[in-house]
Amino acid sequence: MKIILLLLSMIAKSSQLTLNECGAEARRPLVTDIAVQCGTSSIGLAIQLCPVVYTGYNETLLILNHMFGPECRATLDESVTPPVARFNFPLNMTHACGSIFRTTSAAGTGVFSDFSNIQTVNISGVVRSIDPTTGTITYNAELKYYYSCAYPLEYLVNNTQIDVSASSIAIKDNNGSFISTLSLELFRDSTYTSPLAIPDLGIELRTKVFVEVKATNLTGQYNILLDRCYASISALPSNSSYFNLFVPCSKDRFTTMIENGDSQSARFHFPAFRFIEQQNETVSTYYLHCITRLCEKSTCSTFKQCNNRRRRNTKETAALSLTRTYTLSSTEIVTKGDTNESKEQAYLTEKEDDSAVGLGVAVGILAFACIIVLSVAAVFYKRLRT
């Protein structure tokens, strides 16, 4: 009885779109009548309503995963042509209107070949029609609209030409369903509030560079975990010279990890360096790249354990191609090198040092000769007196 009253209440609140208003769109439903927008914090569904009305229903009789709550109900949108019934629900395992969350794992490929457990989360469900007929039979066909969103949880954040301002990019998976926003910023101190300004002549060697990789507009059940960050002379991941700041279960002794896998931001710092092959250039320019994993809060600690993360020779890893690349670009990291003036000064200093050494040798020889002359003179003087 309660269900019948609920259905009657839902029908009463319906906008009651008529077939006359649908015109040529009054037809049997098609599999293409549903559109799915997989966002970073919510999923949106849009179902063409005229075929629903043609079948004998309206937007209030479309039920999402058997959830009757008002937050899981459809709303009519007549601002578009043809009109649609819209659902929108958050990406949260406890408030996703009955959606099913399924996480799968597979061995990494390409630049992810270092890792044996690359995860993808799939969120799926179904919108069904509820027949308001109370008799023994019905002439209304049952409607089912299935939706599914696949979210990869591993990305390459490739920051090219990093400078003061951060940059971010929308990330979409291969089947066009996942949009996430990752950003990388450089700061000058541990407060992570003042962006690092890099002058034209570069920053001083050993200057601390504070790095933050952050996720925004992302459902709260995932944290950021950096798997690998490295610097390369090339703006794109390639076979050029590179230096690992850290890789799974190992890091450079001058790299300090502050936060990783504990929230929706990861932080570390390292001292500015230069590539030796750029020693004849005025400044040394290189680029920072980070492989970033989105892990469920309950599983992030698992990925920090070395027995769950396979390491491979880093030269092999850098040489492998990337099957799914997501790139962030900004300005370069520049460190000071040897200028012409400094080289000339070094040359003059070297010449002065050579002159000083020559003068010291000459004085030493002269002093030794004087000692010999005085000794001989003393011997002859003593014999003459005898």
Per-residue model confidence as pLDDT tens for the chain (386 residues): 444 445 445 444 555 677 778 888 888 888 888 999 888 788 999 999 998 888 888 999 999 999 988 889 999 998 888 899 999 998 877 788 999 998 888 776 666 666 667 788 888 899 988 888 777 777 778 888 999 888 888 777 765 333 322 223 323 232 333 335 688 889 999 999 999 888 888 888 889 999 999 888 777 888 888 888 888 887 776 667 788 998 888 889 999 999 999 998 999 999 988 888 887 788 888 888 888 888 888 888 888 877 655 444 444 333 332 323 333 433 478 887 654 444 444 444 445 555 555 666 666 777 777 777 677 666 666 666 65
What are the strands, taking DSSP E only, across 21-130? 34-38, 42-48, 62-64, 75-77, 84-90, 100-106, 118-129
206: Cα separation from own chain's centroid: 26
DSSP letter assigned to residue 279 = T
Tally Cβ neighbours within 10 Å of residue 256: 16
Both structure tokens of 207: 């200057």
Residue 382 backbone class (left: φ over 0; alpha: ψ -120 to 50; beta: rest): alpha
Helix, strand, coil share of the chain (percent; to 5):
25, 35, 40
Q: Produce one character per residue of 179-210: b if its CB has 16 or more CB atoms within 10 Å, e if not.
A: ebebbbbbbbeeebeeebebeeebbeeebbbb
**Residues 328, 171: Cα–Cα separation, whole Å:** 10
Show the domains of the chain with their CATH numbers: 2-152 (2.60.40.3210), 156-336 (2.60.40.4100)
Q: How far apart are CA 138 and CA 232, in angstroms?
A: 68
Burial grade of 261 (CB within 10 A; 0-12, 13-18, 19 or more): buried
So what's the pLDDT on residue 114?
A: 62
Whole-prediction pTM: 0.61
* Tokens representing residue 308 in the block: 């769950």
Q: CB under 8 Å to 298, separation ≥6 — which residues?
A: none
Q: What is the reported pLDDT for 87?
A: 95
